[in-house]
Structure 1
């Protein structure tokens, strides 16, 4: 028998049997192998008998077999390759059992649902971010563009008053030559009466600014006169000084009070005690703020009694305005 035939026969043998024969050739016992590998004797015997189910996992099995092969002088890589071939049917059987296990199917469905839920949450987050951008960012961006374009548009349409063309300035019409001739004829005939003055007053021209233009004539003298308005009203004069409102408030306890006149000037802003009487006068209407309505005894304005119950009261505080 040649060496090739012996190698072929060895390859066809189980890995455990190959290790056992190599151990016996070395004259080693199971206990010696177990001590060298720091294993139990039962683990070494399980490997030699091909009872791989006694090993916790395939990873540990390959580690034990590799160390065993090196100890008995065998090629560790070749032994591991044979072990993979030997373990392949067990792997397929285990995969089938997992596929047939209903718990595995349930777990697979749970994983699928988790993936779908994660995708849905990611999509919802993207939609929410897009909505926020549309609601808050886009209006500001659009408004910024509108503000940037507005000066250019308004600059074309509007011009300052100083830049108005001369043609747009309205000037008084020049007197018509025919009307000048008629005025000359009427002046010569002596019936230029106060009718033109009434017409001037009825217009938009102010009375004191109306000046009769001199007629260009060698025979008619130039006359300038001020026309009094026909409907002028006499000026209104104040017979007496500005009207002043007199306010008098009597207190039965501590109360903060503030009184201001129509111009916003504060006539009083102080804390009144029990028995005090505040008397102020100023331009009406008078704005009154009372901090403790319950401490007010009487209020008199222009000599007449004022009922504070006629005004709104909130938290014993009232604000009201008195006018003549």
Structure 2
């Protein structure tokens, strides 16, 4: 399946019966010749087979062993299974995603891809690399406890900081940004676009292109702090102006003026985009069953050791 290819490309696989002593011996042999073991069994699930960290480290003290679970190795939820949508809900992301209360279609919303799963993989990779650096210096391996919920909470980023510092619970704001204005989706005459004004100079240039004379000099809108405070007055004015022109026209004019903006690409438009094509993000590779398959290229660019697909 396409999903299988996404998750398993580039891997060599084998099936092992962990309940069979021969299977357990095979895994122990593989671990003894490996730098890293990664597992995502339920808490304690591998101990009964003698394949937990303590068991493997007894004969391979340099092993880096990473366990990935929904809620971590300890705490009141440790025994629960964890799934991405559940973690997005419990970790606060869904409370921040979707249209504001009272708007059409307002409800908590998950993201379009499994970001809690994916970010946990990225964080686990970072932790493993750090542990390998430590092992290379000291010869000492270590155990890594990665939890989807921990990662999701850490991903709340500025929204978590807004709450912890200001003690105000953030609410869903649709496509608007809690700390920057204008930084959201706007409807155009033929669709939608994103406007991402990141500083006051960009706002002035936006006003020049959009024909909003005087707004950049008005104390109510001249600074981002003021625009955030007066977003209810400013956003409808911008929305009315952008609705007069087509997306491509606005994007062309605003980009020429150095104002960050862009279309909202569908998947076909993503892979037809000139920058995406230039960067080679779509690659064709041979499949062992015969023929070829198109995949997404690894985004990491390295001068000496580039990844191979």
Q: TM-score range by the shorter chain?
A: under 0.3
Higher-helix-fraction structure: 1
TM-score (norm 2): 0.14
TM-score (norm 1): 0.14
Higher relative contact order (CA 8 A, sep 6+): 2
